[in-house]
Structure 1
Amino acid sequence: MNKLNLNFKSTAAVCLVLLFTSLGIQSCKKTRSDISKALYGETKNKAFKDLQSDTFAVVLKKTLETKRSTLNNPKLITAFYEANDYEPVLVLKHLPEGKLKVINEYFNNVKSHGLEPEMFKASALNNLITKFYDKKGIKSKEEAYQSLADLEIMAANALINYSNAMQFGVISPRKIYARYYTETKRPDSVSMQRIFSVTDLKGYLDSIQPKDPQYLALQKALSTGFKDPKMSVEETQRVLAVNLERLRWKNKPTEDKYVLVNIADYNLDVIEKGKSVLNMKVVVGEGRNKTFTDNLVEYDEHDLKKDRPFTRETPQLNSMIHSVQVNPVWNIPQSIATNEITKSAAADPYYLSNNNIDVYKNGKIIEDTETIDWSAPDAGKVYAFKQRPGEDNALGKIKFLFKNQSSVYLHDTPAKAGFARAERALSHGCVRVEKPLDLAHALFGDGSKFDLIKKNMESNNPEATDLALPKKVPVYLTYFTAWADPSGGLKFRKDVYGLDIVLYTYLQRLSGK
């Protein structure tokens, strides 16, 4: 009897567990939306009257597979719909009350951003949205299923792309520029998936419009057909378009104080709290686009993996100025040693001594350099060269150091004549500054360190001295060929590195041109 009672209790317990498990599974199963009610209620199109959510899920899944190659972020989009039971989330949320039509308003206005509507498949999306709001636009249930899947996927892809474009730019600069080392934030899965949770579509699209005063000034110029006196309307529009794209990149300084070098403007500013407190001319690396034409010898338009810069171009980068060297020693790069120093030494036996250049082999100084055959093709590689501090040192009286993979820095120069020229792309890649002592003062401020810098720079017996900044200062080497001047009006500069041409080529390819 006890055994039977135990067996009965055990069996009953198992049944209760199975019952609760079954109920739990049913309660956890997601209830699909009534897509037929939502769509027919909005459109009054009978083709939407008896749609089944389960059937639509199959169609959407299949369409995602067939359209995968047309999506910019197929993994992210597919994963979202898989996790959300293959429901038409965007259409259900934004089709009612005609809210989905707002997409056309923004996509058709992208020309004011220097972009083309077809980057976002604006025509196809517009036609499909119009078709949905037409009572007779969709004829059958089969067409309703497919059109709904097409609209959902097209809207998701286009809205993500547009959202990315407005907030991060259309193109990643790291992918197109060989010498671009500036930290630049790009969209991630979290920022891209945000579009699916938006309830107020117009409010969201308004919120992501660029609002920086510089951007708005260039956008206004583009929209009103502004023409620079030195360029045609078409050229002006192109320059505005590429600089608008640059302004969309998330790579702008956020610090209260920083050093900003605009390579294309040959200019340096020390910025504090949004205003320039020191301005000076600079000489930058020699550029490839010396004639300022589209016919760049080292840029192949058919090879769009990356551009091909001239070896002396100053890179775009950001870093932290950590120290200075007063009366610096110049460790001459191998490229300069091979192409210039050894050739000068071969032509003039007194060249090295007259320019305070020491020669080293395997780390040891060569006392007698007159026995060396400087015409040998490998002389620049076999020997190392250092220029001692002094009036003729190529780095002048001071250099400003910051970590970077291109071995460039800001520095003084004995060749002051370069600052008088309008086009100042003359160096081997480093940035020569017009007012080195003023820059040192802006970085160090008043005090014993700056006094020592000033004293040592004026010394008749120069010795290399390293001094760390009391606080590191960010430095940004950028490239802008158009901007709004704080005093009013727009400023334009020539595309000395051909970077506008590279960027514009990519933008054209994305627009299908």
Structure 2
Amino acid sequence: MFMHFASRAAAAIALAVSMTAVAPNFAVAQTTAFRQAVAEGAARDDVVAEFYRARTFEGIWTGTSEAAQARRNALLTAFANASDHGLPEDLYDPQALMARMQAATTAADQGAVEVELTQLYLSYARDIQTGILTPGRVVSDIKREVPLRDRSGYLDGIMAGNPQAYLASLPPSSPEYARLLREKLRMEVLLANGGWGPTVPGGKLEPGDTGARVVALRDRLVAMGFMDRSVTRSYDAALQVAVMDFQTAHGLTADGIAGEGTLQELNIPASRRLEQVIVAMERERWTNFERGDRHIWVNMTDFSAAIVDHGSVTFSTRSVIGALDEDRQSPEFSDVMSHMVINPSWYVPRSIIVGEYLPALQRNRNAVGHIEITDRNGRVVNRGAVNFSQYNARTFPFAMRQPPSSRNALGLVKFMFPNQYNIYLHDTPAKSLFGREVRAFSHGCIRLNDPFDFAYALLAVQEADPVGVFQGILNTGRERRVNLDAPVPVHLVYRTAFTHTTGLLNFRRDVYSRDSRIWNALANEGVVVRAFEG
């Protein structure tokens, strides 16, 4: 499946090596005209200008020296494979660069090409290491700080040691990125060979059904790799297992029935799935940093929260995320969990107070009676003495708090990673929601299906009896903060395409339509879906 990759890489190497043939064109690279052109071209970029100034405007890509040839060959080879990583193919086009190099017959033109190569290299290095896009400009709820590297470090890196090895070190080194890259290349071959074939027409199919639509379902699942080749025309046990495996890999209720939701996901074309993989690779570049030997990974589209220890999931639970309304969607960011609160009070966010509770109190002062109204000093206010109609969202002077109880909106425990968005993980009394397939119901915080077990797993590294410690505090009924001896990084992410450690590619619905916006932004930058003959 990698024949196209190998052949293109070989072609790129041959192309790069051929640059030695045009090296004599750069024999005058040390002339005043060349250096002047470099100085003028670099002046528009402080980092580049400082780099060349320190070298007295000597070139690093041009010329016939062995070092210049090695850098040039490595760069052109990297550019030839840039689109493998979902980078803009036309931007990093080695053939076009070759043509410009060969057309540069004067020292001034050669100096301009020298700076162009440096600028393009810096763009490539950042694109492949930390992403093409600035995420918050595409989706405002992506609050993530992309780990941009110092651009001068890229220049130092390409000058030190083996340029080919340095360029190979730039993409994310995470196992997930490697698996996504492999799946992208595999799917490109798949696309060239017709994708997954015809879609499955009609309505629901279930065990016992027969006929042409069952055959279409069978063939689609065989093409997708969820069952072995078969000649069956009936919805038998093997087909039911294949449907269940497909449902599991797509975050659907695994009931073995090909209902409307399952068929909708099943009929999404391979080209659209490939777009999701490319977006996932871009997102992986945004999180190209140390995530912590122990960390918490909340994938919103999967409605799950996991504790990861040294790369392995050691605990996982279902979650509920923010509702689909724009003002309730959960943001994406990373922070550090410092403590949990057992028997928490719920301090109602101001947006809920003035948007939901104040109008209710204006209609009936006894509304939301389970919530205390408090003054600025935290003292409970007698609601019978307040004329709520005299206030609006701006002037309402009170806060609101729900005391600890099993009916508390936060349940019996919350997990805190203090942040400016007032987002945290917590228990909930609304347990029935965890049985839903799509679980987007909160005001933005992440609700956990198994919060006690989550707490035990966090405390296990610092308590000999984590269950006893937790339950002992819980049974007092009093609010208490419990610090984590070793704070744990928390990553709230949004991945509609991801791999299982076994290598199985999973897809999830784009519940907030974020990945579709990211794909459109990538496409605007020149990223394309490719197909290659295997």
Q: What do residues 175-226 of structure 1 show as CA deviations (whole Å, max 9, x unaligned)?
A: 5553445454211044222255156433333333444331122222222335
Partner of residue 416, structure 1: 431
1:160 aligns to 2:122 (yes or no) = yes
Q: Tell me the SS of whatever aligns to 1:351.
A: coil
Alignment partner of 2:413 out of 393, 398, 406? 398
Letter in 1 for 2:46: K
Cα distance, 1:279 vs structure 2: 0.7
1:105 aligns to 2:84 (yes or no) = no
Counterpart CA distance in 2 for 1:334 and 1:51 is 65
Q: What do residues 317-346 of structure 1 show as CA deviations (whole Å, max 9, x unaligned)?
A: 222222222111111111111122233334
Unaligned runs of 5+ in 1: 1-40, 69-73, 132-136, 289-309
Alignment partner of 2:495 out of 453, 477, 480? 480
Counterpart CA distance in 2 for 1:105 and 1:256 is 34
Partner of residue 7, structure 2: none
Q: Tell me the SS of whatever aligns to 2:400.
A: strand
Counterpart CA distance in 2 for 1:44 and 1:312 is 59
Q: What do residues 355-408 of structure 1 show as CA deviations (whole Å, max 9, x unaligned)?
A: 2x1112343645532354445551683221111111221011111112211111
Instruction: Note the 1:487-502 alignment, pairs <5 A.
Output: 487-502=502-517
Q: 1:345 to 1:251 in 2, by over 3 A?
A: farther
Letter in 1 for 2:520: T
1:437–1:454: 8 Å Cα contact kept in structure 2?
no
Alignment partner of 1:114 out of 63, 70, 86? 86
Q: 1:164 to 1:362 in 2, by over 3 A?
A: closer
Cα distance, 1:348 vs structure 2: 5.0
Partner of residue 245, structure 1: 282
1:508 aligns to 2:479 (yes or no) = no
Counterpart CA distance in 2 for 1:44 and 1:365 is 82
Alignment partner of 2:50 out of 66, 79, 89? 79
Cα distance, 1:119 vs structure 2: 3.3
Partner of residue 106, structure 2: 144
1:159–1:195: 8 Å Cα contact kept in structure 2?
no
Q: Tell me the SS of whatever aligns to 1:282.
A: strand
Q: 1:98 to 1:190 in 2, by over 3 A?
A: closer
- RMSD over aligned CA atoms reads 3.1
User: How many pairs were matched up?
Assistant: 431
Instruction: Note the 1:43-442 alignment, pairs <5 A.
Output: 43=21, 53-65=31-43, 68=44, 74-92=45-63, 93=65, 100-120=72-92, 122=94, 124-129=96-101, 131=102, 143-173=105-135, 176-182=138-144, 184-198=146-160, 200-225=162-187, 229-288=266-325, 310-347=326-363, 350-353=366-369, 355=370, 357-363=371-377, 365-375=379-389, 378=392, 381-442=396-457
Partner of residue 29, structure 1: none
Counterpart CA distance in 1 for 2:87 and 2:423 is 34
Letter in 2 for 1:201: P
Letter in 1 for 2:156: R
Letter in 1 for 2:358: T
2:31–2:107: 8 Å Cα contact kept in structure 1?
no
1:121–1:158: 8 Å Cα contact kept in structure 2?
no
Cα distance, 1:501 vs structure 2: 3.2
Counterpart CA distance in 1 for 2:435 and 2:58 is 66
Counterpart CA distance in 2 for 1:358 and 1:96 is 72
Counterpart CA distance in 2 for 1:323 and 1:330 is 16
Cα distance, 1:439 vs structure 2: 0.9
Cα distance, 1:488 vs structure 2: 4.0
Cα distance, 1:466 vs structure 2: 2.1
Counterpart CA distance in 2 for 1:509 and 1:177 is 15
Q: Tell me the SS of whatever aligns to 1:506.
A: helix
1:264–1:479: 8 Å Cα contact kept in structure 2?
yes
Counterpart CA distance in 2 for 1:97 and 1:58 is 22
Q: What do residues 75-112 of structure 1 show as CA deviations (whole Å, max 9, x unaligned)?
A: 11122222212222221346876873453333232222
Cα distance, 1:122 vs structure 2: 4.6
Q: Tell me the SS of whatever aligns to 2:383.
A: coil
2:333–2:492: 8 Å Cα contact kept in structure 1?
yes
Q: Tell me the SS of whatever aligns to 2:56.
A: coil
Larger Rg, first or second structure (1 or 2): 1
Cα distance, 1:276 vs structure 2: 1.1
Letter in 2 for 1:457: L
Q: Tell me the SS of whatever aligns to 2:511.
A: coil
Cα distance, 1:245 vs structure 2: 0.9
Deviates more, 1:172-181 or 1:109-118: 172-181
Counterpart CA distance in 2 for 1:207 and 1:185 is 16
Counterpart CA distance in 2 for 1:378 and 1:324 is 34
Q: 1:342 to 1:452 in 2, by over 3 A?
A: farther
Letter in 2 for 1:509: N
Counterpart CA distance in 1 for 2:446 and 2:339 is 16
Counterpart CA distance in 1 for 2:483 and 2:414 is 12
Cα distance, 1:144 vs structure 2: 2.4
Letter in 1 for 2:282: E
Q: Tell me the SS of whatever aligns to 2:315.
A: strand
Cα distance, 1:280 vs structure 2: 0.3
Q: 1:476 to 1:127 in 2, by over 3 A?
A: same
Q: 1:79 to 1:367 in 2, by over 3 A?
A: closer
